[in-house]
Structure 1
Amino acid sequence: MGTKVFNLGTKSHKTITVKWKYNGASEEWDGMYQDNSLWINKDDFDNVNYVPDTYQAALNKEMPGAGNPNSSTYKQQYINYWIAIITHELGHSLGLDHSPYTTDIMFSDSETAGPDFKYTWKRAKVDGSYAEFKNSLSHRDINRAKLTKLLGYW
């Protein structure tokens, strides 16, 4: 986008705080942005089966390196996934809502319009791969971020 969006702050000078949250099995989220805090689900982050299971459920195939958490292939998939989750949550901090498209970093498999979200959909629009496993931004993600900047969200 040609502009610096985030700066590393200090303990006393910050706008967003990244925190761990132990979620348990009651809710299904791996990352969440709320009240200038970006939360990462520590239970999922620590579970060596979480990323391979999520990959299997989304793509209906085994994640490369799934059987060996110490392999470089597994570690790269794991890193890409969690960076994508953090990127998704930082997108919310810029004013981006969820998207039904799987190639968007802002993808969510379903959504109900309400005070927090503008659109409703019940099924994902599978248009290729899943951004959460590649840690990649789509053209839609970039254009939506540019729009939120023009609208003054950030």
Structure 2
Amino acid sequence: MNAHEIFIPKTNSIQAPVNKFRWTLGDKTTHAQNSFFYRSRFEPTGEESWVFSGSTGSGDEENFFSFLLIVPYLGDDRLERTYKLGDGHGLFFSHTHSIPAPPGFTGFRTVDPDDAELAIALDPVEGTVQGDFNAVFKTYRLNPTGTFKMTRDDQ
């Protein structure tokens, strides 16, 4: 079983000015309206992870679109590593987007990629991360490439 948290921004939430998260699909580059970077703890097991995400739109407007990347927390030493989906180093990657829903509901679909890679330089003490990512979602013919530079939201 895979479990992961999904955070959908509230309408009119504010993008932190120092955070930059963007992706390219085909010829179109999109700059995230909302992004976050924080350390997460799964309470039952105590397992910790680093979480990076960027999104546009909102659930209320039914135009939400996001990418979520998670890697294991490995301590407070500077981390420079390239993760590949399925290499055993713990990269999790997903894409969530709005879908039509019955009246009174807001619909979302989350999909995992067929292939993905993330190269990061993370400084836990400074609370900064810089990353480059790419993925392949065969079913959706979606091949995003992206980059982010963010400061932790939980310090």
- Classify the TM-score, shorter chain: under 0.3
Give the structure-1-normalised TM-score: 0.26
Q: Return the structure number with greater strand share.
A: 2
Q: Return the structure number with greater helix share.
A: 1
Give the structure-2-normalised TM-score: 0.25
Higher relative contact order (CA 8 A, sep 6+): 2
